[in-house]
Chain A
Amino acid sequence: MRRRHVCPCGGTKSMRSKIAHGEQINGWLFVMPALALLGIFLVYPILWSLWISLQVGKGSNLHFGGFANILRLFGDKVFLHALTNTCVFFVVQVPIMILLALVFAVMLNDAKLWGRGIFRTAIFLPCVTSLVAYSALFRSMFESDGVVNNGLMALHLIAEPIQWLTDPFWAKVMIILAITWRWTGYNMIFYLAALQNIDQSIYEAARIDGIPARARFFRLTIPLLKPVILFTSIISTIGTLQLFDEVNNITQGGPGDATLTLSLYIYNLTFQFMPSFGYSATVSYVIVVLVAILSFLQFLIARDKK
């Protein structure tokens, strides 16, 4: 917000700086309420949780423990298990979802497609459903005698019901299916918006040069969408790292911790077990660090080679 060097009012230098000074103060006064709220509800809790993460003890009997919680992380098999599960979720789910969203966006961007408004709405609609409500619905659909198994059996695709909720492998698959259903439309909207910003003449020129559709997609659309793809993969990664509602409501982390995520583990440490607030704060910082590292890596990979 630097002021222009030439002041249109044309006063003396001291007058200008006085006005500038006054505007500075006014400006700060205007942003002060917002800053104060941010300070109280964002900065303070972050710093406080950092302080708590250095405390050890049970319940309200907390005392300073230095790096004890960080050391505890390395010996904690449940934490490692939750971390592995979380990584499996985002390594498998994010690419599938990004690709699906991209394909849907390109298909629905086709002006010749009949009823694309309906399709767009249909694919975006899952995003407006409540997380808990859709989890409850998925849970009942994927029960061993639920709609999904009955449907697959009626089509003779499977001989006996798949144990979606009670088999460790299928439970993971089921969670991935659920979050893909919920979030693909959300990412698709970003791609649709970006696609509409691409100049159609580029495609026209490519068509005149005889470039096939597939090459136009890979050589034109994807490079032009790169910033948006980067953005969506970062927010999806962050979202998956924080995965909680679905696993808590569909599988409760089970069967046998097969779908336990870091966020669910933090919840368990805080509310299910003998409360260990220091340690759960430390685990939450692990998520923060992971998000920071992964976002940095994604920026690095997608950086323009200039």
Chain B
Amino acid sequence: MKKLSTRWGSAFGCLVIGAGMMASASASELTVWCWDPDFNVPAMQDAAARYTKLHPDVKITVNNIAQNDIKQKLQTQLLANVTDGLPDIVLIQDDNAQRFLQGFPAAFEPLSDAIDLKKFAPYKVAAATYNGKSYSVPFDSGVTGLFYRSDYLAAAGYKPADLQDITWDQLIKIGKDVKAKTGHDFFDLDFNEAGLVRAMMQSAGKWFFTADGQLDIIDNAPLKAALETYSKLWKADIVKPVSGWSAYTGAFTSGDVAAVASGAWMTGTIKGSPDQSGKWGVAPLPKLDGIEGATHYSNWGGSSWYVFSSSKQKTTATDFLNTVWAGDIDFYQGILINQGAVGSLLAAREGAAYKASDPFFGGAPVWENFSNWLGQIPSVDYGTFTQEVNSAIQAQLPSIAKGGSVDEALKAINDRVSQQIQ
């Protein structure tokens, strides 16, 4: 009798577990990690709502976690080989992607077979390609623009047309005039952020590495020109030094400085001050002086969605990304209007919202401009050690700003990084 009862017990147990498994198979739950409650999080929530409307049995939870915390959690968990508690989908910034893909080769699910990635801007797909497979569904583009206060420029006698097709040297001259006329600095810069230098360099189609992954610093003409331009900006005395993100954004949203060069995602922050509507304009990035292949188009930031190979709901997760993020053009119009998110799905550019003009930017067709520039961004390979080089550049920025030698800085960056990446 005793034996029988245990046998019955285990049979019953199997039944319960089986039923449980079936239940979880029919009603699947997806968890997503991403940062920025004004940008990525609402965009993902919108995407989730669209998918659950089609598939009411799928529940998608979007967790707002700071980018640094996501990086930390991934790094510790993947290293410890613990996949419990990892989400199904995670957002990773493009210049960080290779570090994860190469450091933890089996952790992410290749998506290039399941999803047609040709539909996206090629430079975004390249950033997440490793060993011939691409691992992400590209999200926002960090297509750069020069956001400026048109009223300050008008006070110094400049029209929007004067910012088209110019070089950095010409921009510095404009900046000096603006400061002389209005008393406002032109830019504000943080020594802990080398994004401007990276954006200038990429606009000429270069990154920190050669095609075969070797460090390329000393003879990197665009990088040298970018650092020299950085030095000139400070020398012209048109830069307000700031420290930290809130001080950085505060300087231009409060009207303290006249302009900011940044990714398209900065639009949301700038439009956060509705009282400045009509006083802003967007121009393409100036060109680097005297550099072959220099363009007006570059990238700053931008990130993409990754699926963990440990996820129990891989298929659902992939289908979700494929249905909404790689197919729903209407969805991209919504996040463009609401979050200012310029997606990298090329077909989205045909939507109505991209054609609309924005009264905040004086009625200019900013989105159409951004998406036109997006297609012309030189594609570069971000490599594995971008963070290292970036940190080495940051270490040199204060001395460059004080007028120190750019050649010495390049040498110091090169020495430091070659020591670090061994």
Residues of A that sit less than 8 Å from B by CB: 58-61, 72, 75-78, 139, 143-144, 163, 165-168, 251-258, 268, 270-275, 277
Q: Which stretch, B3-11, B147-155, B301-309, B381-389, touches the partner chain A? A: B381-389
Does B276 sit within 8 A of A, measured CB to CB?
A: no
A256 touches B396 (CB 8 A): yes
- In the complex, what distance in Å separates the CA atom of A37 from the CA atom of B222? 56
Q: Which stretch, B113-121, B173-181, B241-249, B261-269, touches the partner chain A? A: B241-249
Other-chain residue from A77, A163, A252 in contact with B192 (beta carbon distance below 8 A): A252
Distance to closest chain A CB from B247 (angstroms): 6
In this complex, the member of A77, A139, A251 whose beta carbon has the largest number of chain B beta carbons within 10 angstroms is A77
A143 touches B104 (CB 8 A): no
A274 touches B241 (CB 8 A): no
Q: Which stretch, B19-27, B72-80, B333-341, touches the partner chain A? A: B72-80
Distance to closest chain B CB from A260 (angstroms): 8
B398 touches A77 (CB 8 A): no
Question: Could you list some 9 contacts between A and B, CB below 8 A?
Answer: A143-B243, A166-B241, A253-B192, A254-B394, A272-B391, A273-B388, A274-B385, A275-B103, A277-B79
B388 touches A165 (CB 8 A): no
Does B271 sit within 8 A of A, measured CB to CB?
A: no
Does B314 sit within 8 A of A, measured CB to CB?
A: no
Distance to closest chain B CB from A304 (angstroms): 46
Residues of chain A within 8 A of B81, CB atoms compared: 60
A255 touches B420 (CB 8 A): no
- In the complex, what distance in Å separates the CA atom of A165 from the CA atom of B247? 11
Does B422 sit within 8 A of A, measured CB to CB?
A: yes
Residues of chain A within 8 A of B79, CB atoms compared: 59-60, 275, 277
Other-chain residue from B385, B398, B420, B421 in contact with A78 (beta carbon distance below 8 A): B420
Distance to closest chain A CB from B70 (angstroms): 11
For window 77-94 of B, CB contacts with A under 8 Å fall at: 78-79, 81
- In the complex, what distance in Å separates the CA atom of A60 from the CA atom of B388? 18
B103: nearest chain-A partner, CB-CB: A59
Query: What secondary structure prevails in chain A residues at the interface with B?
Result: loop
Known: A60-B78, A258-B398. A268 touches B391 (CB 8 A): yes
- In the complex, what distance in Å separates the CA atom of A256 from the CA atom of B193? 10
A254 touches B191 (CB 8 A): yes
A255 touches B191 (CB 8 A): yes
Residues of chain A within 8 A of B422, CB atoms compared: 72
B240: nearest chain-A partner, CB-CB: A144
A274 touches B243 (CB 8 A): no
- Apart from A166-B190, A255-B398, A268-B391, what are 13 other A-B pairs with CB-CB below 8 Å? A59-B103, A72-B422, A76-B419, A143-B247, A163-B241, A166-B191, A166-B242, A254-B243, A271-B71, A271-B75, A274-B384, A274-B388, A275-B75
A277: nearest chain-B partner, CB-CB: B79
Residues of chain A within 8 A of B247, CB atoms compared: 143
Residues of chain B within 8 A of A253, CB atoms compared: 192
Considering only CB atoms and an 8 Å cut-off, how many residues of chain B contact the other chain? 37
For window 273-296 of B, CB contacts with A under 8 Å fall at: none
A256 touches B394 (CB 8 A): yes
Residues of chain A within 8 A of B416, CB atoms compared: 77-78
The 6 closest A-B pairs by CB, nearest first: A59-B103, A165-B243, A255-B191, A256-B398, A166-B241, A254-B192
A273 touches B103 (CB 8 A): no
Distance to closest chain B CB from A284 (angstroms): 15
- In the complex, what distance in Å separates the CA atom of A277 from the CA atom of B190? 29
Residues of chain B within 8 A of A77, CB atoms compared: 415-416, 419
Other-chain residue from B72, B241, B395, B399 in contact with A271 (beta carbon distance below 8 A): B72
- In the complex, what distance in Å separates the CA atom of A262 from the CA atom of B99? 23
B399: nearest chain-A partner, CB-CB: A256
A270 touches B192 (CB 8 A): no
- In the complex, what distance in Å separates the CA atom of A74 from the CA atom of B311? 43
- In the complex, what distance in Å separates the CA atom of A253 from the CA atom of B191? 11
A139 touches B244 (CB 8 A): yes
For window 389-422 of B, CB contacts with A under 8 Å fall at: 391, 394-399, 415-416, 419-422
A255 touches B397 (CB 8 A): yes
Residues of chain A within 8 A of B71, CB atoms compared: 271-272
A168: nearest chain-B partner, CB-CB: B398
- In the complex, what distance in Å separates the CA atom of A165 from the CA atom of B397? 14
Known: A272-B387, A273-B391, A274-B387. A166 touches B243 (CB 8 A): yes
- In the complex, what distance in Å separates the CA atom of A75 from the CA atom of B192? 24
Would you give the 0/1 interface string for B189-221, flagging 1 where the beta carbon is closer than 8 Å to chain A?
011100000000000000000000000000000
For window 36-82 of B, CB contacts with A under 8 Å fall at: 68, 71-72, 75, 78-79, 81
A165: nearest chain-B partner, CB-CB: B243
Known: A77-B415, A77-B419. A60 touches B104 (CB 8 A): yes
Residues of chain A within 8 A of B103, CB atoms compared: 58-61, 274-275
Residues of chain B within 8 A of A168, CB atoms compared: 398
Residues of chain A within 8 A of B396, CB atoms compared: 256
- In the complex, what distance in Å separates the CA atom of A60 from the CA atom of B107? 11
Distance to closest chain B CB from A215 (angstroms): 47
B398 touches A274 (CB 8 A): no
Residues of chain B within 8 A of A272, CB atoms compared: 71, 387, 391
Distance to closest chain A CB from B188 (angstroms): 10
Residues of chain B within 8 A of A275, CB atoms compared: 75, 79, 103
Residues of chain B within 8 A of A274, CB atoms compared: 99, 103, 384-385, 387-388, 421
- In the complex, what distance in Å separates the CA atom of A230 from the CA atom of B301? 50
B247: nearest chain-A partner, CB-CB: A143
Distance to closest chain A CB from B136 (angstroms): 18
Does B170 sit within 8 A of A, measured CB to CB?
A: no
- In the complex, what distance in Å separates the CA atom of A78 from the CA atom of B415? 10
Residues of chain B within 8 A of A252, CB atoms compared: 192
- In the complex, what distance in Å separates the CA atom of A277 from the CA atom of B104? 14
Other-chain residue from A61, A72, A270 in contact with B75 (beta carbon distance below 8 A): A270
Residues of chain B within 8 A of A75, CB atoms compared: 419
